[in-house]
Amino acid sequence: MIENIKNTIDYLSTPTISFTILTVIFPFLFPPTDWFDKISRKFGIWRIWTNPGGIVIFIITTAFFYLGFKDENFSIILNKPDNFPIIMMIYTMFFYTWYGMKKSYINDRRLERGKKPNEYNDPEDKVLVWPDLVYIEFIALLLFSVFLIVWSILVAAPLEEPANPSVTPNPSKAPWYFLGLQEMLVYFDPWLAGVLFPTFIILGMCAIPYMDINKKGDGYYSFKERRVGYFIFMYGWLALWTYLIVIGTFFRGPNWNFYGPFEWWDPHKLEVLNNVNLSEYFWVILLNQPLPSNVLLRESVGFIVTGLYLFVLPLFLAKTYLKNMLKEYGPVRYVFLMLMGLSMLALPIKMYLRWFFNLKYIVAIPEYFFNI
C-alpha cells in the first residue's frame, strides 16, 4: 500500500505532469474570472481557503514529509541541512497563502453585505510609529534572533570538504534561493535565465505600485476586487518560482536528471535528449534542406516568431481583447505590463516546447553567443 502511494507520487511529480496539474487547477484556486469562480464554488474548491481546508493542506503536507523521512532515499535529501529552509518555506508559503485568501474571502463577503472590511480603521483612530509599531518590530527582531541562534547551535552548517579540482560534485547545485534560476537554465540561455529574467523580476516588483491603478482592495485583504492581478502574481510566485525551487531541491539529482522524491539517485541513469533548434526543425526536418550558411537567413524563422510574440501580439491584443485595458492604463503602462507578462509567459511556453519537442533555442547564434 505504502509503496503504491510512493510510486504514484513519483509518477505524478514528473515535471510534465505536476506542472500541468498545477497550471490547470490554478485558475480554480485563484479564479481570475466569473466562470472560474462559478466552477470553483460549484465543486467546493474555494473551501480550501477555510479553516477545515487549511487543516487538510497541513495534514497532506505533513504526511508527505513523514513518508519522506521514513523513506531510505528521500530521507537522505530531506536531512541535508541545506534543504531545511525549503521545508520551512513550503510550510510558511502554504500558511500565508491560505491565511491571505481566507481573510480575502471573509472581507469579500462583508463587502457584499455592505459592511466595512475587517482591516478598516477610523481615520481619527491613529496608531503612532513610535512607540506602537517600533515596539512590535523590536520584539519580532528579538524573537527571530533567538530562533536563528538556536538553529545555528542545533543544526550543523552545510559545509563540505575543501574544494577539489579533480572532483566535481554531482549534482552541483546553487544555494537554495538561486535554484529557481538554475532550473530556468534548463530552458533558457544564461543571459536570459541568469541576467534578463532576474532583472525583470526586480523591476516588475518595484513597478507594482506605479502600474496598479485599481484603488479597490487597497489597505485591506480582498480577492474579488483585484482577482486578475492576484491570479497573475500568485501564478508567477507559486508556479514559476517556488515550484522551480522545489523541483531543483528535491527532484534534480546526478547529471541534473529528474528523479521522483522516493526514487534512488542512480548516478548512471541516462536520459536521451535530442536537443533541436527551431532553425533545424524548419530547414532540415520540414524543408529537407541543409542549414543556410548565412546566420540571418538561418535564424530568420526564429526572429519572425520572436517578433510576432513580443511586438505583433501586444498590438493585436490592444486592438481586440485588451482594448479597454489600453484605454484605462495608457500606452506606457500597457507596454510595460505586456513586456513583463509576455516574459513571464515565455517560461511555461519554453518548458513545454522543451519537454514535448526537445526544442532548445528559438534563435540559435552560438557564433556570437546569442541564443533565445
CB of 79 closer than 8 Å to CB of 158: no
Is residue 163 predicted with pLDDT exceeding 70? Answer: yes
Is residue 273 predicted with pLDDT exceeding 80? Answer: no
Confidence of residue 214 (pLDDT cuts 50, 70, 90): confident
* SS3 (DSSP) at 122: coil
Q: 116: left (phi > 0), else alpha (psi -120 to 50), else beta?
A: beta
pTM of the model: 0.88
Instruction: Quote the CA–CA distance of 241 and 360 in Å, as a whole number.
Output: 21
Q: pLDDT tens for residues 225-260?
A: 888 888 999 999 999 999 999 998 888 888 888 888
Confidence of residue 123 (pLDDT cuts 50, 70, 90): low
Question: End-to-end distance of the chain based on CA atoms, in angstroms?
Answer: 46
Is residue 174 predicted with pLDDT exceeding 70? Answer: yes
Stretch 323-346: mean pLDDT: 91
Instruction: Quote the CA–CA distance of 133 and 48 in Å, as a whole number.
Output: 32
Please give the torsion angle defined by the CA atoms of residues 275, 278, 281 and 282, in that order, rounded to the nearest 10 degrees.
-170
Instruction: Quote the CA–CA distance of 144 and 141 in Å, as a whole number.
Output: 5
Instruction: Quote the CA–CA distance of 143 and 149 in Å, as a whole number.
Output: 10
Q: What is the percent of the chain where pLDDT is above 70?
A: 99
Stretch 192-203: mean pLDDT: 90
CB of 111 closer than 8 Å to CB of 67: no
Q: Which three cell numbers stand for residue 276?
A: 533541436
Q: Which pLDDT score, from 0 to 100, does residue 1 have? A: 78
